[in-house]
Amino acid sequence: QLQLVESGGGSVPTGGTLILACKVSRNIDFLGRVAWYRQAPGNQRELVARITSTGLTHYEDFAQGRFIISRGAAKDTVFLQMNNLKPEDTATYYCMTDSPVVAWGQGTQVTVSS
């Protein structure tokens, strides 16, 4: 019954900013952690960032200093603010959780033009 729905993707020029949202059908405090992944065509899906129920965050190197993962005050949404976007950030972005169960959203497309 757990559902995750991403939104906020779009097309932006290099250097632009997008804020992605992952709306969860459960209070995110009940989830051990929520993560953002991305996958470009022909590439393996890769972790972008994750946040735990206690607010601890982790960023992959390419996201560190540019991206911010956060929890909304309503406790049903996890955001990913992406600043200074680069063409190599172009991908489908997915949110997911693995605790207590594994669940993935359908993804939202991010395109960064060069």
Q: Evaluate if residue 98 carries a pLDDT over 90.
A: yes
The helix/strand/coil state of 29 is helix
pLDDT of residue 23: 96
- Cα 99 to Cα 30: distance, rounded to the nearest angstrom: 9
Q: How far apart are CA 92 and CA 104, in angstroms?
A: 13
The pLDDT tens digits for 44-76 are 999 999 999 899 999 999 999 999 999 998 889
- Give the tokens for residue 28: 């995110």
Strand 108-113 and strand 10-13: the pairing is: parallel
Where is average pLDDT lowest: 2-11, 34-43, 68-77, 84-93? Answer: 68-77
Strand order in the sheet with 77-82: 4-7, 18-24, 77-82, 67-71
Bridge partners of 68, per DSSP, are: 81
Q: Token pair 């953002």 is at which residue?
A: 36
pLDDT score for 27: 83
Q: Give the model's pLDDT for residue 74.
A: 85
Could you report the per-residue pLDDT of 11-33, keeping only the tens digit for each?
A: 999 999 999 999 999 888 888 99
The CA-to-CA distance between both ends of the chain, in Å, stands at 40
How far apart CA 12 and CA 21 sit, in angstroms, is 16
